[in-house]
Amino acid sequence: MIKLKPSVERLQAYFVNDIPYRVKLDANEGSNYLLTEGFKMESFSPNLYPDSDSVVLRKKMAAYYGCSPDNIMVGNGSSEMINMVINAYCEKDDRVMSFVPSFSMYQTYCDLCGAEYVGIETENDFSQNMDKLIKAVKEQKPKVVIVCTPNNPTGFVTPREDIIGLLESTEDSLVILDEAYIDFSEGSTIELINTYENLVVMRTLSKAFGLAGLRVGALIAKEETVRYIWKVKVPYNINVLSQYAAEQALENKDRVNAYISSVKSLRSELAENLEILGFKIYPSGANFLFVQSPVDNLYEKLMEKGVLIRKISYKGVAYNRITVGTKEENEILINEIKKINGEDI
């Protein structure tokens, strides 16, 4: 076989497992509530290339996010753009810094371009000591700093004053705020983009809009920064179907808000029910809960029952990340855990 370049050869391929399931609470996907039955494609020209600049989509996103279309670049999910940005800014051995544990893909994207991923450990309760990160940034001068808020997998929400503190002290690093889950919390930092030209905010339609299958995300930054990063955008990157469907979805602010409120209340209800069953729950601003289970091998036991959750091991301790499902899905989860505990349902 012809060898890949050495930095890539070392990597483990990322295969997503396709275990049969009844309830899928492992990937923080939402419900499909926007593009439901009766959804029609009215203007659809599969023979033509899509609008490479995604003019209509960016206009609708701008209205939703409260910025100008010039502040937005779109990509195939925000993860594609995080990869693109790391690749565009980092040469081999440049540093990328973030708190750990966080989104495992940051490490993967660094590996792909040979950048060094430096993880700054969070505290025992998974809160973030921003002074520690700022100190490390000053010492190690990373090219890129990534803060995921609410953080995947812990759910921790970075306080706004900490984000401002970071931005005030990192003029020489690009700061990516990964806000994939911010809709389920509050206080997006989008309005800071005009103050800090090194700030890039990543948003996605994969979580709160329930459209992970469309693969649509937004990079939001100061106009000059967007124009600059545009150099690395692949032409025609968002296909016709995804652009059209995303444009339609963005017209439904009220329904999105209603969905977000319902997820928030289901999140509290699920947390309470798990707490009753002896789980330790970490405060979450996202559409999932980060928990420590009183039952050993919960992931494997639930998988046998067709309920998928995530298992995460950190410093030798087992945790789980459980997506907040619909009322019915959460009930199935709770009932299966009760059965594992030997309770009669």
Residue written as tokens 């206009």? 59
CA–CA dist 134, 105 (Å, integer): 22
Nearest distance in Å: CB 201, ligand PLP: 12
Per CB under 6 A, does 217 bind ligand PLP? Answer: yes
Options 31-39, 134-142, 204-212, 242-250: segment touching ligand PLP (CB under 6 A)? 204-212
- Is the previous residue joined to 6 through a cis bond, with omega within 30 degrees of 0? no
Nearest distance in Å: CB 152, ligand PLP: 4
CA–CA dist 66, 250 (Å, integer): 13
The nearer residue to ligand PLP, 209 or 299, going by C-beta atoms, is 209
Residue type, 166: L
Dihedral sign, Cα of residue 156, residue 159, residue 160, residue 164: negative
CA–CA dist 107, 90 (Å, integer): 13
52-91 residues near ligand PLP, rule: CB under 6 A:
77-79
Nearest distance in Å: CB 180, ligand PLP: 4
13-33 in b/e burial notation, b at 16+ Cβ within 10 A? eeeeeeeeeebebbebbbeeb
Options 30-38, 121-129, 199-207, 334-342: segment touching ligand PLP (CB under 6 A)? 199-207
Select the residue interacting with ligand PLP from 98, 158, 188, 204 (CB under 6 A).
204
Alpha helices in the chain (DSSP H): 6-9, 55-65, 77-89, 105-113, 130-140, 160-168, 223-229, 240-249, 253-276, 298-304, 327-340
Nearest distance in Å: CB 344, ligand PLP: 37
Per CB under 6 A, does 103 bind ligand PLP? Answer: yes
The nearer residue to ligand PLP, 106 or 299, going by C-beta atoms, is 106
Per CB under 6 A, does 173 bind ligand PLP? Answer: no
Residues lying near ligand PLP in the complex (CB under 6 A): 28, 77-79, 103, 148, 152, 178, 180, 204, 206-207, 212, 217
